[in-house]
């Protein structure tokens, strides 16, 4: 047979099959009726059997499990047993109000609150010279309020500070529905009393997503440059130099980086990325942050890709003091040197606030005294069980840790290497992402993510 006649035969058979199935279509019934506009439902035997009244029907997850997936299971099988409970988490003491003055009635005026804040550096900075500072927040209001307050005390104009509320609780905090013992509590009114702005993320974002949200925010607000800061910091202006503040010092760095003398740059760091200055269009030019690497090592990925793309990313020490802490001072108002407040931490009064900051940083890194890790501050608040968007605090931490581990594994697959030191690999370039074989052996059941 020639190929042409083969096709003719095939075509003829297809036609016969098509007509056959068309004539017999009622033998292959649909499980629902397709009604054309204006068509009346016919009262034929094809109609499904009558359903029980709506309130007596099986609910959705169970109904569809029964009908589609578990048809093999015995309908009379006993229910799945519920696993036993884990031991209760260790109780933790309720946290106190970190800045009682802000809860006073009538509320203190902004003028009163900011009376001792250095303001000379705010003058002469026009709207154009504005340096927005974004501080991401997910858990632990006392630490956030302490961080924000210390930036104000170090000369940062409150109107240029934007707390990015990344709690995933939508408007709950803005509407005052969460309380102090809830880990995701944040008081919009009190930040407003200090003159600080709040931006709410639409849903709970990972670190990498939050970074891209910062870029998006800057793009929408026409900020070519912005700063971002961790929320667990306590910052101070240089202690022995009354002529400068932390804010005036970072502004000078920004001015230099905007000048023609500056190299092509993307990020500039103050105490690594505790406080970071971002050049929006540089970061966008390499596609922003990789959200498949949600937390740790996504920074290695981002900064290294920018370096390979020819961007300089330097660091300036000594703009002020930046302490990494896990605990708040006893009264955050003391950071603003407000009348009636004394700088004290864990009941010990300090004459020098900077010395207090040093002690607080030691507490975070010295695990000897209490054997809790560096990030246990995220687990202090345990309340809020009946409030909107409640999540179990220990479970939230567990889920986050698992995503951190997963991110490290994605990073390793992406660059064929486990570790932040990918830049040391000879000849590697940004284009090599996902194209390199693993440079490690899989250990059987060993510690997969130990790097």
Report whether 336 contacts 151 (CB < 8 A).
no
- Say how far apart CA 297 and CA 300 lie, in whole Å: 5
Helix (DSSP H) and strand (DSSP E) numbers for the chain: 11, 10
Helix axes 298-308, 393-415, angle to 10 degrees: 30
* By CB under 6 A, residue 102 contacts ligand NAG: yes
Q: Closest by alpha carbon to 187, among 206, 205, 167, 202? A: 167
Cα torsion angle, 83, 89, 94, 99, sign:
negative
Q: How many residues does the chain have?
A: 451
CB of 90 to ligand NAG, least distance (A): 16
C-alpha distance from residue 45 to each of 26, 27, 51, 434 (Å): 11, 12, 15, 57
Q: Which is nearer to ligand NAG, 169 or 248 (CB)?
A: 169
Q: How far is the CB of 234 from ligand NAG (least distance, A)?
A: 14
24 binds ligand NAG per the rule CB under 6 A: no
The reply to whether 94 sits near ligand NAG by the rule CB under 6 A is: no
Cα–Cα dist 325/146, whole Å: 10
Tell me the site size for ligand NAG, rule CB under 6 A.
13
Look up residue 265 and give its DSSP letter. Answer: B
As measured in angstroms, the least distance from the Cβ of 161 to ligand NAG is 18
Footprint on residues 126-185 left by ligand NAG (CB under 6 A): 176
Residue 66 is classified by DSSP as I
Which positions from 321 through 380 interact with ligand NAG, judged by CB under 6 A? 327, 346-347, 363, 369-370
Question: Nearest approach, Cβ of 142 to ligand NAG (angstroms)?
Answer: 13
Regarding 306 and contact with ligand NAG (CB under 6 A), the answer is no
187 part of the interface to ligand NAG, by CB under 6 A: yes
Closest approach of ligand NAG to the CB of residue 330, in Å: 11
CB 359, min distance to ligand NAG, A = 8
Per CB under 6 A, which region of 46-54, 59-67, 99-107, 236-244 contacts ligand NAG? 99-107
120/346 with CB nearer ligand NAG: 346
Q: Give 160 or 187: the residue with its C-beta nearer to ligand NAG.
A: 187
Whichever of 164 and 186 has its CB closer to ligand NAG, that residue is 186
- Which residues, at least 6 apart from 192, have a Cβ–Cβ distance to it below 8 Å? 198
Which of the ranges 6-14, 28-36, 79-87, 187-195 carries the binding residues for ligand NAG, by CB under 6 A?
Answer: 187-195
What is the rounded CA–CA span in Å between residue 297 and residue 409?
Answer: 10
| In 294-372, alpha helices (H) | 298-308, 353-365
CA dist 343 and 358 (Å) reads 13
With CB under 6 A as the contact rule, the residue among 121, 149, 190, 248 that binds ligand NAG is: 190
Exactly one of 103, 203, 255, 285 binds ligand NAG (CB under 6 A); that residue is: 103
Tokens of 177: 């529905």
Q: Which residues bind ligand NAG (CB under 6 A)?
A: 102-103, 107, 176, 187, 189-190, 327, 346-347, 363, 369-370
């Amino acid at each position: 047979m020639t190929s042409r006649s083969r096709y003719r035969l095939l075509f003829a058979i297809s036609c016969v099959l098509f007509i056959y199935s068309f004539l017999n279509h009622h033998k292959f019934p649909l499980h629902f009726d397709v009604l054309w506009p204006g068509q009346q439902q016919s009262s034929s035997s094809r109609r499904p059997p009558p359903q029980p009244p709506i309130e007596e029907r099986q609910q959705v997850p169970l109904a569809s499990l029964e009908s589609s997936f578990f048809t093999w299971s015995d309908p009379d099988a006993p229910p799945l047993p519920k696993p036993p409970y884990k031991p209760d988490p260790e109780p933790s003491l309720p946290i106190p109000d970190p800045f009682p003055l802000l809860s006073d009635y009538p509320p203190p005026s902004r003028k009163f609150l900011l009376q001792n804040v250095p303001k000379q550096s705010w003058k002469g900075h026009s709207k154009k010279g504005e340096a927005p500072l974004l501080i991401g927040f997910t858990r632990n209001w006392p630490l956030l309020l302490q961080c924000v307050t210390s930036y104000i005390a170090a000369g940062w104009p409150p109107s240029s500070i934007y707390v990015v509320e990344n709690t995933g609780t939508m408007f709950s905090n803005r509407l005052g529905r969460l309380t102090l013992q809830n880990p995701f509590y944040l008081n919009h009114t009190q930040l407003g009393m200090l003159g600080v702005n709040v931006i709410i993320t639409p849903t709970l974002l990972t670190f990498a997503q939050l970074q891209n949200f910062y870029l998006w925010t800057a793009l929408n607000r026409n900020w070519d440059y912005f700063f971002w800061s961790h929320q667990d910091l306590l910052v101070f202006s240089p202690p022995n130099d009354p002529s400068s503040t932390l804010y005036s010092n970072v502004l000078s760095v920004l001015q230099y980086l905007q000048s023609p003398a500056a190299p092509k740059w993307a990020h500039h760091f103050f105490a690594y990325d505790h406080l970071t200055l971002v050049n929006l269009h540089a970061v966008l030019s390499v596609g922003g942050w990789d959200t498949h690497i949600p937390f740790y090592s996504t920074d290695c990925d981002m900064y290294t890709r920018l370096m390979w793309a020819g961007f300089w990313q330097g660091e300036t020490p000594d703009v002020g003091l930046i302490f990494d802490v896990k605990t708040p001072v006893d009264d955050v108002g003391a950071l603003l040197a407000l009348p009636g407040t004394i700088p004290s931490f864990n009941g010990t009064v300090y004459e020098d606030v900077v010395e207090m900051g040093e002690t607080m940083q030691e507490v975070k890194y010295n695990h000897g005294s209490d054997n809790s890790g560096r990030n246990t501050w995220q687990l202090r608040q345990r309340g809020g069980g009946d409030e909107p968007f409640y999540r179990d605090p220990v479970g939230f931490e567990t889920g986050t840790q698992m995503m951190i581990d997963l991110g490290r594994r994605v990073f390793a697959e992406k660059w064929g290497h486990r570790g932040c030191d990918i830049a040391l690999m000879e000849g590697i370039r940004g284009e090599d992402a996902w194209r390199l074989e693993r440079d490690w052996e899989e250990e059987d059941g060993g510690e997969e993510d130990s790097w």
